[in-house]
A and B are shown apart, each in its own frame.
Chain A
Amino acid sequence: MIHITKRKELAPQQMLAIRLGAIVAALVVCGVITAMVTGLNPISVYGAMLNGAFGSQRKIWILLQETAILLCVSLALTPAFRMKFWNLGGEGQILVGGLAAAAVMLVMGGRLPNALVILLEIVAALAAGAVWALIPAVFKARWNTNETLFTLMMNYVATQLVAYYVIKWEVPKGSGKIGIINQSTEIGWLPQIAGYKYLLNIIVVALLTVGMYAYLKYSKHGYEISVVGESTNTARYVGIKVERVIIRTLVLSGAICGLAGLLLVAGTDHTITTTIAGGRGFTAVMVAWLAKFNPAVMVASSALLEFMGRGAGEISTAYGLNHSFGDILTGIILFFIIGSEFFITYKVNFQKKGGERDV
């Protein structure tokens, strides 16, 4: 018989051992499945994955850039999640942030000095993201509406809003595409640092990570968020204005998603499409959960997810396999990583015959 009991706190090295064991097991299972399904050599498939992520200087930059954006969204969701406010509206908050930035680039380009355009674009993007999160937050604080559904629905509104403006600004007519905004003048484009395309984004998110870590761990706000997350009644009892904390935290959460939209639109892509968020609003939920809402660990979890995504892309290029195969591998690896948490929290006891318990 199998008997499951809750564990006491494990020593850090034991937790690490269980997690590493899970990754090794995941790699072996992936290898076996790769060999069985495709007949390819699993080692060379892993080699291709590594090559896809780290194979050249450019690939490393792209990996860092993608990690930075995903991390940015994860950091945005974290304060809300810590408060047990399930903000699933990251996607929409990124989109409206990006849309606001694009609007400023398009409308103000040529009318104001470039520095002012950039400043305005930053303010607009952060404000737009904040407003998109503020709406469900107010409803939650005032009338205790379900924030999961509300934030989710706001995504669709944002997508349609972007779709509308894409049609409005499209070039050429009827194409449904805006193309690169201000390609010849580069007005409203965030500056490149030392000629590196993605360095600015990476630095911004690195600073944000440190800031968010400190905010949650050492600030009064961070403490209030934790208390509200534990119990709103306790929070009220100790004199915390719960409604204010919810609204303040969601404005922060939305503004950081807006920042992600800004970095995408004004920093790298220089266009806006309905798919520019690329599902990051949802992937970030996984990143945050995997890291137990710890910003430092999120650096690792977002890097891991991006590594696997880039690796999957390389597999399809190198071996002519469908991109979905890479996704299958990612799924297997995530399954094992999430599964390992079970073995960290619980202990599996095998009962001996005769009902005697193994200690």
Chain B
Amino acid sequence: MKSLEHMNVNRRQFVTMGVGSVAALALAACGGSSEGGSADDAAGIKVGLICLHDENSTYDLNFINGFKEAMETLGVAEGDYMIKTNIPEGQECYDAAAEFADAGCKLIFADSFGHEDYMIQAAKEFPEVHFCHATGTKAHTEGLDNYHNAFASIYEGRYLAGVAAGMKLQELADAGKLKGDAPKMGYVGAYTYAEVVSGYTSFFLGAKSIVPDVTMDVTFTGSWYDETAEKEGANKLIEGGCDLISQHADSMGAPTACETAGVPDVSYNGSTVDACPNTFIVSSRINWAPYYEYAYNQVAAGEAIDADWTGTLATDSVQLTEVNEAAAAAGTQEKIDEVKAGLEDGTIHVFDTANFTVDGKALDSYEADVDTDADYTPDTEVIADGYFHESEFRSAPYFDLRIDGIKLLDEQY
């Protein structure tokens, strides 16, 4: 993938390969001016994307790929979209956003949770520019016309991935290959943040819909990207008797630990089948391209962008990679398709209160902290019609219940 991108760059520019002297500089200087601009520039809106890391992080790569895909679909000329990588979650994010605005961008995206406050700061200063922040929580309370949050109902993707995990556990149980009496899963999470809680709970419920007696251990690394900690976490879970591992952190730590130990793994952010051909089952991911296209089209048409936009299975924002037949149980794809249809037509709800208990009791009411504040004050009733309404009152997840059957091994993060 990366080498292909570099190829594009190569073609775009005058090539001075193999000339090894100052003459190369002079020659190349002449060549540079002959380069022509691309003809089709649609509405001519310039767009910028701010990334916390670069392509080496699966998380950022997922954003970068979605962004490039959307720009291609929209026919935005190459010079009209820009990506800044390795932008920390500090004043540098504000600076990067402001530089994009200076360069004439009308639409600026950022990909990391910690960018949010700096995007808001920039949004206040550049009212004519739209700032779209993925995974943030404050757009609906900030009240700015040009500041927006986006996320996707990834809990539905996690649920489907959990179904695939359940199928695998059932297969292991039928073959008498479970490590213990009942199937047990392990999950490597980054922080105890609602986004992670919502993710591992939906994954667990997906598996539970196939194997009702499943339990799960969760460990946290305290970092979104820490290959060593993720690997150690996975190994700890495997040693603790887990039959299958999944993760919500952005390195290859957990998947490679699983491949080494020969334990099945349900991945995240994209397929890890290349590195883990024998253990990778399936992976869920958010496809950001639909959001980029939506936001761009709204700006082009002069229409408002939603303060909170939640992509769904229907918008193709929530995707599952191909199932790896070598590791998955037979019939996994068919089962996923069946459950997916149920989620789409509303006959299945991921957080159906009939399917989980908290401290032994089913819930009929819960107030979540939807409007972010320093004291985490619960403010919104989120259970109605028999299920927990995730990502409806704001795009970012707020499911933070500790349900029965899931054991948190550590909670310091």
Interface residues of A (CB under 8 A from B): 28, 31-32, 35-36, 38-44, 56, 58-59, 62, 163, 167, 171-177, 179-180, 183, 268-271, 273, 275-276, 278, 313, 316-323
> How many angstroms between the C-alpha atoms of A175 and B397 in the bound complex?
12
A174 touches B412 (CB 8 A): no
B98 touches A31 (CB 8 A): no
> How many angstroms between the C-alpha atoms of A215 and B20 in the bound complex?
49
Given contacts A179-B117, A323-B54, contact A43 B29 (CB under 8 A): yes
Q: When A and B form their complex, which 4 residue pairs have the shortest distance between CB atoms, in order from nearest?
A: A174-B193, A174-B192, A180-B117, A41-B28
- With a CB–CB cut-off of 8 A, which chain B residues contact A172? 137, 193-194, 369, 372, 376
A28-B21, A172-B376, A270-B91 known; 18 new pairs, CB 8 Å cut-off, are A36-B20, A41-B16, A44-B29, A58-B102, A62-B95, A163-B222, A172-B369, A173-B192, A173-B194, A173-B376, A313-B86, A316-B84, A316-B85, A316-B86, A317-B84, A319-B9, A320-B8, A323-B85
> How many angstroms between the C-alpha atoms of A172 and B197 in the bound complex?
13
> How many angstroms between the C-alpha atoms of A40 and B32 in the bound complex?
9
B118 touches A180 (CB 8 A): yes
Chain B 35-64 per-residue mask, 1 if CB under 8 angstroms from chain A, else 0: 000000000000000000011000000000
* Cross-interface CB contact of B5 among A56, A271, A320, cutoff 8 Å: A320
A323 touches B89 (CB 8 A): no
Given contacts A273-B89, A322-B54, contact A41 B116 (CB under 8 A): no
- With a CB–CB cut-off of 8 A, which chain B residues contact A323? 54, 85-86
* Residue B361 lies at the interface, judged by CB distance under 8 Å to chain A: no
> How many angstroms between the C-alpha atoms of A174 and B372 in the bound complex?
12
Given contacts A58-B95, A176-B413, A278-B88, contact A320 B83 (CB under 8 A): yes
- With a CB–CB cut-off of 8 A, which chain B residues contact A56? 99, 102
A174 touches B196 (CB 8 A): yes
* Residue B19 lies at the interface, judged by CB distance under 8 Å to chain A: yes
A35 touches B16 (CB 8 A): yes
> How many angstroms between the C-alpha atoms of A271 and B374 in the bound complex?
14
B84 touches A44 (CB 8 A): no
B29 touches A177 (CB 8 A): no
Q: What is the chain A residue whose CB lies nearest that of B25?
A: A31
A320 touches B95 (CB 8 A): no
Minimal beta-carbon separation of A72 from chain B (angstroms): 15
Minimal beta-carbon separation of A310 from chain B (angstroms): 10
- With a CB–CB cut-off of 8 A, which chain B residues contact A179? 114, 116-117
Minimal beta-carbon separation of A18 from chain B (angstroms): 19
A40 touches B9 (CB 8 A): yes
Q: What is the chain A residue whose CB lies nearest that of B95?
A: A62
Minimal beta-carbon separation of B310 from chain A (angstroms): 18
> How many angstroms between the C-alpha atoms of A275 and B372 in the bound complex?
24
A42 touches B193 (CB 8 A): no
Q: What is the chain A residue whose CB lies nearest that of B372?
A: A172
Chain B 351-385 per-residue mask, 1 if CB under 8 angstroms from chain A, else 0: 00000000000000000010011101000000000
Given contacts A58-B102, A176-B413, A179-B117, contact A35 B19 (CB under 8 A): yes
A42 touches B24 (CB 8 A): yes
B10 touches A39 (CB 8 A): yes
- With a CB–CB cut-off of 8 A, which chain B residues contact A322? 54-55, 85
> How many angstroms between the C-alpha atoms of A59 and B85 in the bound complex?
17
A276 touches B98 (CB 8 A): no
* Residue B22 lies at the interface, judged by CB distance under 8 Å to chain A: yes
- With a CB–CB cut-off of 8 A, which chain A residues contact B222? 163, 167, 176
- With a CB–CB cut-off of 8 A, which chain B residues contact A270? 91
Given contacts A40-B13, A41-B31, A41-B32, contact A177 B89 (CB under 8 A): yes
Q: What is the chain A residue whose CB lies nearest that of B124?
A: A183
* 28 CB < 8 A contacts A-B: A28-B25, A31-B24, A31-B28, A32-B21, A38-B6, A38-B10, A39-B16, A41-B14, A41-B16, A42-B28, A43-B29, A58-B98, A62-B99, A163-B222, A167-B222, A167-B412, A167-B413, A172-B376, A173-B376, A174-B400, A176-B413, A179-B114, A183-B120, A271-B90, A275-B88, A319-B9, A320-B9, A323-B85
- With a CB–CB cut-off of 8 A, which chain B residues contact A321? 9
* Residue B121 lies at the interface, judged by CB distance under 8 Å to chain A: yes
> How many angstroms between the C-alpha atoms of A2 and B330 in the bound complex?
73
Minimal beta-carbon separation of B211 from chain A (angstroms): 28
> How many angstroms between the C-alpha atoms of A180 and B82 in the bound complex?
26
* Cross-interface CB contact of B17 among A39, A271, A318, A319, cutoff 8 Å: A39
* Cross-interface CB contact of A58 among B13, B55, B99, cutoff 8 Å: B99
* Residue B275 lies at the interface, judged by CB distance under 8 Å to chain A: no
Within 8 A of A (CB), among B119-172: 120-121, 137
- With a CB–CB cut-off of 8 A, which chain A residues contact B190? 176
Minimal beta-carbon separation of B306 from chain A (angstroms): 21
* Residue B15 lies at the interface, judged by CB distance under 8 Å to chain A: yes
Q: What is the chain A residue whose CB lies nearest that of B24?
A: A35
Chain B 223-259 per-residue mask, 1 if CB under 8 angstroms from chain A, else 0: 1000000000000000000000000000000000000
B84 touches A174 (CB 8 A): no
Q: What is the chain A residue whose CB lies nearest that of B100?
A: A317
Chain B 401-413 per-residue mask, 1 if CB under 8 angstroms from chain A, else 0: 0000000000011
> How many angstroms between the C-alpha atoms of A320 and B65 in the bound complex?
13
Chain B 197-228 per-residue mask, 1 if CB under 8 angstroms from chain A, else 0: 10000000000000000000000001100000
Given contacts A39-B17, A173-B193, A177-B114, contact A317 B90 (CB under 8 A): no
B83 touches A317 (CB 8 A): yes
B369 touches A173 (CB 8 A): yes
Minimal beta-carbon separation of A213 from chain B (angstroms): 28
Given contacts A41-B31, A58-B102, contact A32 B20 (CB under 8 A): yes
- With a CB–CB cut-off of 8 A, which chain B residues contact A38? 6, 9-10
- With a CB–CB cut-off of 8 A, which chain A residues contact B21? 28, 32
* Cross-interface CB contact of A177 among B91, B113, B120, cutoff 8 Å: B113
- With a CB–CB cut-off of 8 A, which chain A residues contact B116? 179
* Residue B346 lies at the interface, judged by CB distance under 8 Å to chain A: no
A36, A177, A275: most-surrounded residue (chain B CB, <10 A): A177
* Residue B187 lies at the interface, judged by CB distance under 8 Å to chain A: no
B193 touches A176 (CB 8 A): yes
Q: What is the chain A residue whose CB lies nearest that of B2?
A: A322
Within 8 A of A (CB), among B79-119: 82-86, 88-91, 95, 98-99, 102, 113-114, 116-118
- With a CB–CB cut-off of 8 A, which chain B residues contact A58? 95, 98-99, 102
- With a CB–CB cut-off of 8 A, which chain A residues contact B121? 180, 183
B95 touches A175 (CB 8 A): no
- With a CB–CB cut-off of 8 A, which chain B residues contact A31? 22, 24-25, 28
A180, A273, A318, A320: most-surrounded residue (chain B CB, <10 A): A320
